[in-house]
Structure 1
Amino acid sequence: MSKLKIYIPILCFMNTACITNTPEICPKSTPEVLEHLNQVYYGKNNIRIFYTTQGENAISDKADHNHNNIPDYIENIAIQINTVMQAWDALGYQNPLQSPRYKSAKYIDIHIQKLSGLGIAYSKAHLHTNNPLKKNECALIISLSNNIPNFTTRSSVAAHELFHLYIYGYTMFKPKWLNEGLAAWSEGIITKGQTGAYGTISLPKTKEKFEQTFIQSSYQASKVWSSITLLVDQSNEKLPLPKGLLQTKYIDGKPVFQDHYLKGTVFIHEFLKDLGQEDKRLSQQNNWEPYNWKDSTQKSHIYNKNILSVLHRKLEKNPKEYNKKNSFKKILKQEIN
């Protein structure tokens, strides 16, 4: 994938954070791929999808079964993104476009292109100047593959990448065990079962297992997150979402929601809000601009202790359940002390 060329005056200090000349940044950039994405589809809720039907970035499936001159592949991506966004918003989560971090952003732009993987969500908003279809508007960016197989029956990749934007809107912390782990958990909002995309695992009882299955993990860390949600969420209720939303279907008639369950939506919501308070405390303590941490700082394991402290405090609000997992509780306390 082409690297973004960014033009913005930046002053870095202390090798940890960067200060810019404005708190609301939308750096200009010119990713080469955008020069080839010559079509745009406007979805609901300020979603724009940029794509092409020609060249190496062309969508592989150009079927248009409803004969509206928009490929079903594009419409189905828009349906998944919009439906999942409405679901998280209805559950009380802060829409990324409403986050103080992204005051400059007007749209969530989806770039459909050739990728080595299936998707990428970027934590910085961008103003792309090399495609007139962008209309010189600041946007949050998600790149999705032009060839996602079985999209309406087996794929939740668009939902996964969207949740990254929700995470970024709450907190600057993004080590993989947190960022990818929670995004994989979030796929459970439309996939079958009460937990995230990778299921669950017994909560680790040793420091070695804690590191292996959680801290040094990425997508698979969702197994631990899902197990935590099972611990704190003892309900067996359906997601409190509007009936009409739960009945949303793709162009081929397949349902977006494979069932109506996901454990831990309240807990994760509160946890993300508390993480946001913790990173603001760190910013103030270190005299950093609150939304302009260096990317390496955001991903750093140096601040695992801070994240785990927030998790421990949240779990202590469920003492009956937390105390049942004494080995896990003991490891957490060791990690933060």
Structure 2
Amino acid sequence: MKRLSTVICLSVGIVCCQYIGSDNNNHNSNNNIDISSQEFGECRQLNTSFQYTSLSYQPQLDSFRFLIKFNANKLLETNLQRNVLNVVTVNQLQNIKRQLQVADGIYQNVLGLTAPLDNPRYQKAHFINVNMIEAQKAYGRAYDEVVKNKNDKVSACHIIMELSNQVNAEHNVTPAHELFHIYQNSVMMFKQSWLTEGTARWSESLIKESTGKEEALPETKEQLLEVMDSSYGASKFWIRLFRLIDPNDAFVVPNYLDTITYLNNEPVLQDNKAYGVTFIKVIFDELSKESDHVSELKGWDRYAWKEKDQKDPALNPYIWNAVKRAVAKSIPYEQQSEELRKCMEIEL
């Protein structure tokens, strides 16, 4: 198992161009493609130009590195150190780091998920690059490809997470939310929002207080399609589904995670309440299998679907089949509630 001890270099990134992004426009259209030969994901070269100036403070966290991105005109000012601290403070960065540390530990040691860098798609990635962006509002973005910047002599292949400098970890869980997206991306190519944003919003309940809001499961195809047309709001569907599969809402917290606090001494982990902690790995496994199945069926490269295909609603029936298999594996039919049975009987 790959175990990395990569330094978090708080550095200055000078942005001169733009990312290639995650539009995969070159997937193989040969319907006879054999995905068994595509064991690992690739590392793509970024169409960007960075220069780096390391600062004196470099907190440590396995598998992560932090950078600060400036617009070019910022570099015309003389006091670079001061400008960096105007983007993100040392304390702010430390709090983000601690939230990522706890979330990473929960995803692996409570949910039983495999670390993204240990999954085949990300075998060529050496770390997750957390780019801090100067912005007017708090937001985050997780990219799904392994990339390398040819002008960064220090950097190896990596995955990118972006966080705006308005993100304060002690007040929101954007870092943990974006990290969950990277866990998703490491095992499946599906990017339908009701799945990815719905379950990522659910993942916030692992750290935040309370188990999250829920609503009754769909009873008809039309109601299910409404869920599939939604995004973050689909978390209510997932939380209800998870609760009906396993009503236990408490999970055991590893001791080393329970003691981690923000710099204001508030615990990062606000409670140990969440539904679905035993089910999420089952559904990830089924979604991974279904992702491979779609690759074979469509003749697409295993880890290089076009972006529009990853988000195509036409793939929802495949996702739904994976969900139903996961439910069947987790709770016998005779133990399912009437609400759960009726939902699982919906065909797309």
TM interval, shorter chain, is 0.7 to 0.9
- Give the CA RMSD over aligned residues: 3.2
May I ask how many residue pairs the two structures share in their alignment?
Answer: 315
Structure 2 counterpart SS, 1:334 = coil
Alignment of structure 1 residues 252-331 onto 2, 5 Å: 252-317=264-329, 318=331, 319-320=333-334, 322-325=336-339, 329-330=341-342
Structure 2 counterpart SS, 1:265 = coil
Give CA deviations for 1:40-76 in whole Å, capped at 9, x if unaligned.
845311211112699499565755xxxxxxx101111
Which residue is equivalent to 1:66? none
Structure 2: distance between partners of 1:304 and 1:157: 26
CA apart distance, 1:289: 2.1
Identity %: 26
Structure 2: distance between partners of 1:124 and 1:53: 22
Give CA deviations for 1:153-188 in whole Å, capped at 9, x if unaligned.
x30000000000101111111111111111111111
Q: Which amino acid aligns with 1:325?
A: E
The answer as to 2:19 corresponding to 1:4 is yes
- The unaligned stretches of length 5 or more in structure 2 are 1-14, 76-82
The 1:17–1:173 alpha-carbon spacing in structure 2 relative to 1, beyond 3 Å, is farther
Decide which of 111, 128, 146 is 1:125's aligned counterpart: 146
Which residue is equivalent to 1:242? 254
Structure 2: distance between partners of 1:331 and 1:236: 22
Structure 1 counterpart SS, 2:216 = coil
The answer as to 2:100 corresponding to 1:88 is no
**TM-score calculated relative to the size of structure 1:** 0.82
- The unaligned stretches of length 5 or more in structure 1 are 64-70
CA apart distance, 1:93: 0.5
The 1:18–1:52 alpha-carbon spacing in structure 2 relative to 1, beyond 3 Å, is farther
Structure 2 counterpart SS, 1:226 = helix
Q: Which amino acid aligns with 1:107?
A: F
Which residue is equivalent to 2:94? 75
CA apart distance, 1:88: 1.2
Structure 1 counterpart SS, 2:194 = helix
Which residue is equivalent to 1:98? 118
Structure 2 counterpart SS, 1:126 = strand
Q: Relative CO higher for 1 or 2, CA cutoff 8 Å, sep ≥ 6?
A: 2
Which stretch of the first structure deviates more once superposed, 264-273 or 23-32? 23-32
Give CA deviations for 1:10-29 in whole Å, capped at 9, x if unaligned.
85444999999985411111
The answer as to 2:232 corresponding to 1:219 is yes
The 1:11–1:296 alpha-carbon spacing in structure 2 relative to 1, beyond 3 Å, is closer
Cα contact 1:24–1:102 (8 A) shared by 2: yes
Alignment of structure 1 residues 174-189 onto 2, 5 Å: 174-189=191-206
Q: Which amino acid aligns with 2:316?
A: N
The 1:16–1:194 alpha-carbon spacing in structure 2 relative to 1, beyond 3 Å, is farther
Structure 1: distance between partners of 2:25 and 2:319: 28
Which residue is equivalent to 1:164? 181
Decide which of 20, 30, 45 is 2:62's aligned counterpart: 45
**TM-score calculated relative to the size of structure 2:** 0.80
Q: Which amino acid aligns with 2:139?
A: L
Cα contact 1:125–1:139 (8 A) shared by 2: yes
Cα contact 1:175–1:299 (8 A) shared by 2: yes
